[in-house]
Structure 1
Amino acid sequence: MPDHEAPPRAIMKGKENPRLFKEFGVDLRAMDLGFRISDNSYFNEFDLKFVQISVWHKGPADVERVRSLSDEVKKSGKRFVIHPFSLCLSETRKEERKYYLDMLERYARIADLGLILHDETVPGVGRLGGIWEEAYTEALSRIKKICPVSIENGTDCRNVVRFWKTFAGSIVFDIGHFEVAGMDCTGVMDEMGPGLLGKLDYIHLHRKGDLREGMGIRDHWPLEEGCPELAVLKRLLELRPGAKVILEVDGKADLAQSLKVLKGAAFSRNQRKNKIPNGK
């Protein structure tokens, strides 16, 4: 992948972000902005348009928990997408596959805007091919008969463009995952080209930082003023206006901080009347 120039200096200086965003015509005030939740502890405290219900699936009880949470989200007037982890479409073992697909179909029937699923690899093998590719294709087809499915770069970022070309009808571009993989997001966009960029429906937004203690990951930090993720977001929205943006940060404080940063990046001093909301 070719090297690309560093972002313009103005992008990296938080105090200049309002001017830069205004100059380049990306109106973050109008973005379709949501955030992720895993329970009902604070989703009603932020007046945003939709949520992503994230669930680390451990058993059938998680489906019922998501069903109950989705009912609360509906009553609040918000739209929602469901993002289940640990259920593999490429599974080929008969009993395991039957269980995974049963659970995924249950989530699909609950989903409003659809499901977000990760790209997959074969442990010890690498890229999907042969029976695993056939299994993934068949499972994806079954789920898409129930609800829309968007595929995120969550497993093998260095090969995900190929994966998207093969399988994706809808794409989730996770900025932080590419950064943690040491990849240049601008180069990924170039590799995607107009065809795949036209399938970009969601952007996962969070910041890469230091190793998170006890978690073993370096992403999903809240946004900071002037962080490079803002420049990537701006470029993605230039290429795909209308893509939904999901703040993938955890906890009320991190979400409030990230919204404050976005608000600062989105407005010059004379543009304050249409504000990105704070928490109540």
Structure 2
Amino acid sequence: MLDLVRLSRDAVFPPGGEELYRQIGRLTELGAGHEVIDAACGRGISSLFLAQTFGCAGVGIDPDQVLVDQAEGRARDSGVHGRFTFETAALDDLPFKDGTFDVAIGEIGLAAEADPARAVRELARVVKPHGCVVLVQLIWTGHVDPARREILVQHLGARPMILVEWKQLLRDAGVVDLTVEDWSDAPSPFRPSAGGPFPDFAEIFSARERFDILRRAFRRWGWSGVRGAVLREREIHRLLTRERVLGLSLIKGTKWPAPDAPAATT
């Protein structure tokens, strides 16, 4: 699925959609003057949405230089270039001083590109005391044998964990007062219509866009490669939507000051 999506000329919003990221802004009381780090930012779609919607500044980090270049280009076109920038860096070794940001967001790609424990510790490290750490992560909600899990991991381009594992990683990193919201498909006051986070290829793009993507996929892989990718996507989509082995969770917490940290002054 991700191979097909990357061949699209259009940006595809991450799972959860704009309403999930509006909720992140609400929960963290995001606004002008706040600095945000968005780790595993990809092409910068959610990062720039936050910058445009809430007026925040910050930086998106991703280990993939191609994606960072695309994010930078999108930032220039969006009018927030200079206020929100993008850099290539390892997600488990962030190039920032302790306590730099007001809010840190760990996107779905966090566990795919780095050791999740180290990546979460890095997010907590670069957040100011009493700042917010937010994870948007795929969660295993049903039993899946190891072989099928690995197939799903390869398909999704992300490595899900169970919810208690993510929560423990945050606590180990000094993040407390955890709150969890399930954004798998349940309606909420901020998301009034139900809809799963795993749309089918045909649901994401129009017929014209699908034809354009498949035409370029044919040039790259040939007919057998295109057919195999589409059939594999459909099979895994059925597994995700019918057996419901994966969900999408928003986990938000507050960084607790270190015991020897100096008290804040006003």
TM-score by length of 2: 0.35
TM-score normalized by structure 1?
0.33
Specify which structure has the higher proportion of strand: 2
